Structure 1
């Protein structure tokens, strides 16, 4: 997915996204490089320019916790991006094994089927839809397939109509895959999805290179279904015990709202 290292690519992208005024530095004239210079980040992190250059070039992969913290502060990383930085510094032996598990437990499938008034489904690290109840399938019936959320956003024509705040959803979608990538940079499935979507969508490729990091958690979404129209939903994502690479996603509507009525129409 890159000619560099995961750590070096992340540091470079976040450095290039910063402006001098973001970190309190003066800005004189036109700069020859995007964002801040390596020397400026090194100064802010109180490390040598040569050491920081080795980090970005992949010649140094084991910075101490103190240096990681200083670099994170210099790059203005939030808590989630800082955790991502820490994960990228782990060796292969320090990372969890078996993250590409593709089966869903029988108990979880039974739970999905029991929730017949709200859409619920399971996604994997690359946002593959691993299972879903009937209402989740009906909610996404305008797509060619209810198979991978990233593909549906970027490569299915229905995506831009269904997700009314498409740009925000697109950035969140890529940031979620990037977060999963930090847990397992060697995941064959994540590499496959990123390669396929980068070839199909210029926008996906550009957002992927921004190295934004955000796990799926909870937020509101405005959707537009081809049969029942506008939907104002809130979703929450839960990690599955025993399969931490899987997430349970549940969409909810306010009681007695038009969206709740639309869900009932879809359920019928």
Structure 2
């Protein structure tokens, strides 16, 4: 599932220098579906989301300047394919066979991420196995990546929030969502859901265009530092614990 979401991060195709330094400028967009809790939370400067908080720190550690440019998921995907943007943050588990293709390299894992089929409580047993999606209409988020979307008929909605509303309105019988995101919106909307089969389980990474692979070592070092000093764990706790207390 591509988020964004996606959580797209773009590096200028030419090396841009700022303030007469040798520090490259990194353009990125942490906008997702506009409701991809806990990774991106719009209009909330104190708690903008896990990835929204992490990226500036990570780029600073990597000695890369960042500039956030919000873009919708479908535009970031197109820009990455064309090479206008140079990397995004995704999970290999969202891609068929976990393969990014020949144009990209990937960083070390940043954090774990998991998603399931979601449905109504009374329908949970019908969606306990992923084979149940074969040929069926399944709720998805516009612009997101799904490793097996050849197996089912996508019914695109604007966000995970809308997926849960659609389940309760009977427009779809099942959807795919990240676990934390689904639980958050279920609590916010007071619309109960149930988890069916696991759809994917993996880690968020930087998917970096191959021509910019010279920055990969910096990025990996920054990820390692933020893991070692507890920054990533603290941010995960901040957002997942607040989610569970909603």
The structure with the largest strand share of the pair is: 2
Determine if the TM-score, normalized by the shorter chain, exceeds 0.5.
Answer: no
Greater C-alpha Rg: 1
Higher relative contact order (CA 8 A, sep 6+): 2
* TM-score, structure 1 normalization: 0.25
Write 1 or 2 for the structure with the bigger share of helix.
Answer: 1
